[in-house]
Amino acid sequence: MSDPAQSGTRKLLTVLGITFALAVGVGNTIGAGILRTPGTIATYLPDFWPFMAVWVIGGAYALLGANALSELATMVPRSGGQYVFVRRGLGDYAGFVVGWSDWISTCGTTAAVAIVVGEYTVGLFPELRTHQVVALGVVAIFTVIQWFGVRWGGAAQTLTSLIKAIVLLLFIAACFALGNRNPTEALFHADREIPLIAAMIIALQSVIYTFDGWTAPIYFSEEIKKPEKNLPRAMFGGLAMVIVIYLLLNVAFATVVPLPTLAGKNLAAATVAEHIFGIHGDMVMRLVMVLALLSAVNSNVLMAPRVVFAMSSDRLFWRGASEVNAGGTPDVALLISSILAGAFIVTGTFENVIAKLAFFFVANYTLSFVSLFVLRRREPETPRPYRAWGHPLTTGLALLASAVFLAAAVAGDTANSLWAIVLLFLSFPAYLMIRSRSR
């Protein structure tokens, strides 16, 4: 395996601190999911304690993952996300699959979140009329900010994540101040069509999706100062903040309305806002959504270029994408990524793309956990500033949970999973072609 020798004239700058690392983890994880998902969870688990239990279990799974990836990130402190570890552990082709699927789905997520921001912004300001134009404008603004340099992009992430945290904490405070229910009021014997354990497994799939994004700091491993200390701190610290906010939000929602009232609601937070603020609830919810999602757009615009930058440096992508400007931004990779996100916005294809690549969401985690086992065996002498606590038991548990979740995802969405498998087969000749051209 080759080391990350950059083909461009400049390298990425190591100028980001722990504040940014925490901000990008929190900002990328907390999105629209936590405001939508409680309605889905309540459909299967209308009783308070089982409802809360799946959020705790989802947080525990994320912490197990952070434990494993923290070792990999400090062992191989390269920007680029899970692609870096999987390529190191399992070879170029496995890395190629993870990198391409991660890059395309991150661009698709950029488009999806920007579209939501556009829709709610137009709701606040009807004179803007077209939500796609707003979405394109938001992506363009963050792209320009990041073009000036990594410090600018980092500052934007810290600011937008702080705004998100303040807005959500104010919303939580309003729920507790104006809600008048005991959230633990028993509905423990509510009728269910399926057994409790089965309901929790189904609900857990949505919870794990809602926790996705906690890996964001590893996309900037070589740009974060003192990665051997700050990457584990950011992974665990950011996740701790996310878990606390998620648990508080769900308790706050149950303080305002009974969980069965939230069941089936596409935007559970909107139902809560209507109960608290009456006719102004819709306006409040739109404002919360816009302010809360800006950090998620910025984080995805930041992350996507790092993946293709790393792949380009390893000759698994067009070599021009390894260029870095004076501000430390992989500018060509940034431009390509933002153009792809813009194309998804204009064509409206991001939903299909994300649905078909969702198969790789947990598959990438699975390959990362496997890579940890492989690298522990193959490279026992390589320095590991952080060693995964409880390995191999904790990593094995995370791997098992990922495998079960992956099987459930395939069973639950067979059509898109089959598409993903077809794409996986098609990726091999594409990989061979890129490898031959790079030589």
The pLDDT tens digits for 153-172 are 999 999 999 999 999 999 99
Token pair in block for residue 212: 């996705």
pLDDT value of position 179: 84
Query: Residue 438 — very low, low, confident or very high, per pLDDT cuts 50/70/90?
Result: low
Q: What is the mean pLDDT of residues 290-295?
A: 94
Beta carbons within 10 angstroms of residue 170's beta carbon: 11
How far, CA to CA in Å, does 310 sit from each of 8, 96, 195, 224, 430? 12, 11, 46, 16, 18
> Can you tell me the distance from the alpha carbon of 132 to that of 147, in angstroms, rounded to the nearest whole number?
22
pLDDT at 127: 86
Would you state the pLDDT for residue 190? 52
Provide CB contacts within 8 A for 74, sequence distance 6+: 227, 228, 231, 232, 384, 385, 386
Residue 84 has pLDDT above 60, yes or no: yes
Helical H runs in 125-195?
A: 131-147, 150-178
Residue 5 has pLDDT above 50, yes or no: no
* Predicted local distance difference test score (pLDDT) of residue 2: 43
What are the tens digits of pLDDT across the range 95-117?
999 999 999 999 999 999 999 99
SS3 of 224, please? strand
In this prediction, residue 416 has a pLDDT band, given cuts at 50, 70 and 90, of: confident
Asked whether residue 1 carries a pLDDT value surpassing 50, the answer given is: no
Cα distance between residue 317 and residue 308, in whole Å: 7
Q: Calculate what percentage of the chain has a pLDDT beyond 70.
A: 95
Confidence of residue 362 (pLDDT cuts 50, 70, 90): confident
Q: How far apart are CA 161 and CA 28, in angstroms?
A: 9
CA distance linking residue 351 with residue 211, whole number of Å: 19
The model's pLDDT over 378-408, given as tens digits with 9 standing for 90+, comes to: 999 999 999 999 999 999 999 999 888 888 8
Q: Give residue-wise pLDDT tens across range 204-246.
A: 888 988 998 999 999 999 999 999 999 999 999 999 999 999 9
Query: With bands split at pLDDT 50, 70 and 90, how would you rate the model's confidence at 70?
Result: very high
* Phi and psi based region of residue 91 (left: phi greater than 0; alpha: psi -120 to 50; beta: remaining): left
Task: Name the least confident of 15-24, 188-197, 314-323.
Answer: 188-197
Residue 24 has pLDDT above 80, yes or no: yes
Q: Does the pLDDT at position 304 exceed 90?
A: yes
Q: What is the pLDDT of residue 358?
A: 76
The interaxial angle of helices 359-378 and 82-90, nearest 10 deg, is 50
| Reported pTM | 0.91
CA distance 36 to 257: 15
125-146 residue pLDDT tens: 988 878 999 999 999 999 999 9
pLDDT for the residue 350: 75
For each of the domains in the chain, give its residue range(s) and CATH number, in order of start.
Answer: 18-438 (1.20.1740.10)
Tokens at 412, concatenated:
């639950």
For 111, residues 6+ apart whose C-beta sits below 8 A from its C-beta are 135, 139, 341, 342, 344, 345, 350
Most confident among 38-47, 133-142, 270-279, 282-291 (mean pLDDT): 133-142
Residue 188 CB neighbours (<10 A)? 12
Picking from 210, 271, 260, 256, the residue whose alpha carbon sits closest to that of residue 45 is 260
Q: What CA–CA distance (Å, rounded) separates 83 from 374?
A: 15
- Contacts (Cβ under 8 Å, ≥6 apart) of 433: none
**What does the pLDDT look like over 177-191, one tens digit per residue?**
998 877 776 444 555
Any alpha helices (H) in 91-130, and if so which ranges?
A: 92-124
CA distance 87 to 73: 13
